[in-house]
Amino acid sequence: MMEERLRMDVGAMDSIAPEFEQVRDQLHDLGLTLSVWDHFGDVVEGFEPSCHLCAEIGGLAQRCREEARKIAERVVFSDRPIKGQSPLGGCIIGVPVYERRRLVAAAVACFPVAEMLESEQLHRLCDSSQLDHESIVGELASRCRYGLAHADRLIDAMTKMLDRERSLRVAEDGVHGLSENLASTYEELSLVYRISGTMKLTCEPQVFLREDVCGELLEVIGVQYAAAVVYPHTPAQGPVEVIAAGDLDLKAEQVRRLAAADIAPQFTDNVRSLVDNHFAGNGRSGSHKGIDRLVAVPLIGDEQPIGILLAANKMAGEFDSVDVKLLSAIGNQAAVFLTNHRLYADLQDLLLGVLEALTASIDAKDPYTCGHSSRVAKVSERLAIEMGYSPERVREIYLAGLLHDVGKIGVPESALCKPGRLTEEEYDQIKRHPMIAARILGGIRQLDEVATGILTHHERLDGRGYPQGLSESELPMEGRIIGLADSFDAMTSDRCYRPALPLPDVIEEIRRHAGTQFDPELVEKFLAIDLGEFLIELRSDDRQFRPRAVGQERQE
């Protein structure tokens, strides 16, 4: 009966046992001996006979135990306190024990009572066991503090003790849970704060994901490996990108297969995390070599999956809900960054498209300069990369190269497109184009840095350039780079007054003017490039020319 009733509560006793220590000690001070019985009628908390007679009289201890068990069974069955008698005539009381309002056990206590001193049971037991009744009564009398009439009050006291201890333990559990929650929330908040501090739109996604996202995962969760799997924004962006950190030897292609076959299919609108602490035996893609435990979340941008963030092989123990919370927090930040960065990249592409259209329309005034601005931009970009500049500065130099002749929009076509020799006045008009460009772009704050290169692209190291005739020390690198790129493209392009120069002549010309017109260091770096191949590349897609976004290398 007891088994039937409480089979569903098996296991609860493990968690409630500690509180009985307190109750047992308190009851002991009151002269009561406590035992706790589980669902199967087994003792959880030690059963002790209430007097030494039980131990001395053969079979009595077993009978006492049996009576206590019966009381426990009745308590569990009736879900209320029960009182009864021990074989010696003592009192046994039992009360229900609850765990989160579920009855999970019975607490039973026995104690000698005054009435047993004169009981028939005691006489018979002393006779049958050849014990001196008088001395037994004397000993029992010294221990009898209650009568049978006290049973109800003691039941009430025991119930209150159990309630108090249970409430105390629930409160302690609550405080413990709260403190764990607080610690985990603090860690999560501090992580989000750290990561959001590094989220700059100018930061390359690969750098952000590797160092700030995967790097943090390695440290905060303590994993062997972490990776961000990023779906391409457009088909032109190529394959799914894998940015990883850690020391697990996995190729990008393996991680792609892992994400596609084992992780992505597990996510739904309602399932936004995957925790698998037995992944080694569960993986289906065959790409999970070395992964024993895995946790992953989808990266959601604009309500669409844009990738997956995963961490593998926690160093200490298994992944738990706290790890998932942390991974989700980082994943949310990563998704926000990627989404914003893609919007930013779209805007950059739009800006570049507009600027390319603008410069192409200026170049189109003269069929001989068609594509010139785009080519100068690309040569300038290449020179800036060779100089080891930051991606941001490379981009500014690219834009300066693209816009370097935008001032020609303010130069009369009669001078600009004149096939014959220019008069001095016409030449002066043309020489004003850097200043005109500076004025046009002067109102655009975002192009402040770009204007420097445009204004100085016709200056020379020997001070014989225009429009300002700057000296070598005054001439910025931006102007030197665009000046060299401009001259290179002019020499390698047909003009109305001459065909394009052969490449060896161009190289010779550049070398000859190093130190006077061109910066010698730049010349050295430029001539180290395979210019024949570079020229083919420049000419191959004049019409479709688009700059390669700086820093978009992929991990393969």
Task: Provide, rounded to whole angstroms, the least separation between the CB of residue 434 and Fe ion.
Answer: 7
The residue range among 51-59, 206-214, 384-392, 400-408 that interacts with Fe ion, by the rule CB under 5 A, is 400-408
Size of the site for Fe ion (CB under 5 A): 1
Nearest Cα to Cα of residue 376 among 357, 400, 353, 393: 400
Instruction: Evaluate the CA torsion angle 82, 88, 90, 96 in order and state its sign.
Output: negative
Task: Provide, rounded to whole angstroms, the least separation between the CB of residue 353 and Fe ion.
Answer: 22
Chain residue whose CB lies nearest Fe ion: 405
The residue range among 219-227, 370-378, 402-410, 544-552 that interacts with Fe ion, by the rule CB under 5 A, is 402-410
Task: Provide, rounded to whole angstroms, the least separation between the CB of residue 386 and Fe ion.
Answer: 22
The residue range among 60-68, 82-90, 404-412, 514-522 that interacts with Fe ion, by the rule CB under 5 A, is 404-412
Question: Which is nearer to Fe ion, 405 or 459 (by Cβ)?
Answer: 405
Question: Which is nearer to Fe ion, 313 or 456 (by Cβ)?
Answer: 456
Question: Which is nearer to Fe ion, 96 or 407 (by Cβ)?
Answer: 407
Would you call 66 exposed, middle or buried from its count of C-beta atoms within 10 A (0-12, 13-18, 19+)? exposed
Residue type at 538?
L
Question: Which is nearer to Fe ion, 294 or 455 (by Cβ)?
Answer: 455
Task: Provide, rounded to whole angstroms, the least separation between the CB of residue 313 and Fe ion.
Answer: 58
Nearest Cα to Cα of residue 450 among 489, 506, 499, 392: 392
Question: Which is nearer to Fe ion, 241 or 405 (by Cβ)?
Answer: 405
Question: Which is nearer to Fe ion, 227 or 447 (by Cβ)?
Answer: 447
Question: Which is nearer to Fe ion, 30 or 438 (by Cβ)?
Answer: 438
Task: Provide, rounded to whole angstroms, the least separation between the CB of residue 407 and Fe ion.
Answer: 8
Would you call 345 exposed, middle or buried from its count of C-beta atoms within 10 A (0-12, 13-18, 19+)? middle
The residue range among 24-32, 221-229, 401-409, 424-432 that interacts with Fe ion, by the rule CB under 5 A, is 401-409
Question: Which is nearer to Fe ion, 125 or 470 (by Cβ)?
Answer: 470
Task: Provide, rounded to whole angstroms, the least separation between the CB of residue 433 and Fe ion.
Answer: 6
Sheet of strand 102-111, all strands in order from the earlier edge strand to the far edge: 43-45, 33-37, 102-111, 91-99, 82-85
Q: What is the CA radius of gyration of the chain?
A: 44
Give the Cα separation of 109 and 19 in Å (integer): 16
Residue 317: count of CB within 10 angstroms of its CB: 10
The residue range among 53-61, 183-191, 405-413, 436-444 that interacts with Fe ion, by the rule CB under 5 A, is 405-413
The residue range among 58-66, 160-168, 309-317, 398-406 that interacts with Fe ion, by the rule CB under 5 A, is 398-406
Task: Provide, rounded to whole angstroms, the least separation between the CB of residue 307 and Fe ion.
Answer: 44
Task: Provide, rounded to whole angstroms, the least separation between the CB of residue 417 and Fe ion.
Answer: 15
* Residue 467: cis peptide before it, omega within 30 degrees of 0: yes
Instruction: Tell me if 451 sits within 8 A of 466, measured CB to CB.
Output: no
Contact partners, residue 435, CB within 8 Å, separation at least 6: 407, 455, 467
Task: Provide, rounded to whole angstroms, the least separation between the CB of residue 427 and Fe ion.
Answer: 13
Task: Provide, rounded to whole angstroms, the least separation between the CB of residue 382 and Fe ion.
Answer: 19
Task: Provide, rounded to whole angstroms, the least separation between the CB of residue 551 and Fe ion.
Answer: 28
Instruction: Transcribe 473-484 into DSSP letters.
Output: GG--HHHHHHHH
Question: Which is nearer to Fe ion, 73 or 405 (by Cβ)?
Answer: 405
Give the Cα separation of 312 and 292 in Å (integer): 7
Instruction: Tell me if 454 sits within 8 A of 407, measured CB to CB.
Output: yes
The residue range among 327-335, 403-411, 418-426, 438-446 that interacts with Fe ion, by the rule CB under 5 A, is 403-411
Question: Which is nearer to Fe ion, 76 or 461 (by Cβ)?
Answer: 461
Instruction: Tell me if 333 sits within 8 A of 192, measured CB to CB.
Output: yes
Instruction: Tell me if 145 sits within 8 A of 116, measured CB to CB.
Output: no
Question: Which is nearer to Fe ion, 338 or 362 (by Cβ)?
Answer: 362
Question: Which is nearer to Fe ion, 70 or 513 (by Cβ)?
Answer: 513
Residue 157: count of CB within 10 angstroms of its CB: 18
Instruction: Provide the token pair at 418.
Output: 């004149």
SS3 123: helix
Output the CA–CA distances (angstroms, integers) from residue 307 to 199, 233, 331, 364, in the order listed.
18, 10, 9, 43
Task: Provide, rounded to whole angstroms, the least separation between the CB of residue 414 and Fe ion.
Answer: 18
The residue range among 74-82, 242-250, 343-351, 399-407 that interacts with Fe ion, by the rule CB under 5 A, is 399-407
Give the Cα separation of 512 and 491 in Å (integer): 14
SS3 553: coil
Interface residue with Fe ion, options 19, 45, 405, 489 (CB under 5 A):
405
| In 83-204, alpha helices (H) | 120-129, 133-143, 151-197
Binding interface with Fe ion (CB under 5 A): 405
